[in-house]
Chains A and B, each alone.
Chain A
Amino acid sequence: AQTVTQSQPEMSVQEAETVTLSCTYDTSESDYYLFWYKQPPSRQMILVIRQEAYKQQNATENRFSVNFQKAAKSFSLKISDSQLGDAAMYFCAYRSAFQGGSEKLVFGKGTKLTVNP
């Protein structure tokens, strides 16, 4: 079974600075997707960024980028120029890409990010 581990229950960053959230995962599959989801307080979860395991290039979405290390099974999220609106719970998630396999997302426990003005 796949597992996702987020070792930082809480992180804080000063506005306009950069923060990196860590995620490791365990799988025996070779093809999969990795995601970072953001869950603001009392609001619904939204996708921040996604990475296909077969792509060597790290995904980037505006101020959000990932460092995907397949051999190390590591998938960290870097938030540059942090904004107050970035404050939220961040969840790392895994999904198999195997056709006919499970479509479920497997989530880590989350990291609560606080942005200080």
Chain B
Amino acid sequence: DTGVSQDPRHKITKRGQNVTFRCDPISEHNRLYWYRQTLGQGPEFLTYFQNEAQLEKSRLLSDRFSAERPKGSFSTLEIQRTEQGDSAMYLCASSLGLLNEQFFGPGTRLTVL
């Protein structure tokens, strides 16, 4: 299958712990996006990459959040010192270019206890 994949699918952690999520985009897609979706809400943009360059970050992305996309392939999203308010579904999407559709992955559901 050549869709967007995310790992893990579910993560339960205790408040204060660090967590890292991985996203593998569709092969050859140069753009990769991260969104966060809380219960009853639509996805909210966090950040995006064009190849390895991080071109935009939302104000939602506090200093505890960091994202990387080394070599312009997969991406990781790390949350340090997790808080209960970080509990959400973290969605990754990729696209081939500016005018192309964003394809979404299945998401990583984070629960912070």
A97-117 residues at the B interface, CB under 8 angstroms: 97, 99, 102-110
Contact code string B57-91 (vs A, CB < 8 Å = 1, else 0): 01000000000000000000000000000000001
Q: B102 to chain A: which residues have CB within 8 Å?
A: 47, 105
A26-70 residues at the B interface, CB under 8 angstroms: 37, 43-47, 50
Number of interface residues, chain A, beta carbon within 8 A: 22
Q: From B97, which residue of chain A is reached at the shortest CB distance?
A: A103
Of B40, B42, B58, B98, the residue contacting A91 (CB under 8 A) is B42
Q: From A100, which residue of chain B is reached at the shortest CB distance?
A: B98
CB distance from A39 to the nearest CB of B (A): 8
Q: Tell me, in angstroms, the Cα distance from A6 to B102 when the chains sit together.
A: 21
Which residues on B are within 8 Å of A, measured CB to CB?
3-4, 31, 33, 35, 40-45, 48, 55-56, 58, 91, 98-99, 101-107
Of B43, B58, B101, the residue contacting A107 (CB under 8 A) is B43
A–B Cβ pairs within 8 angstroms, 17 of them: A4-B42, A6-B42, A44-B4, A45-B91, A46-B104, A91-B42, A93-B42, A99-B98, A103-B98, A104-B45, A104-B58, A105-B45, A107-B44, A109-B40, A109-B42, A110-B41, A110-B42
B45 touches A44 (CB 8 A): no
B45 touches A50 (CB 8 A): no
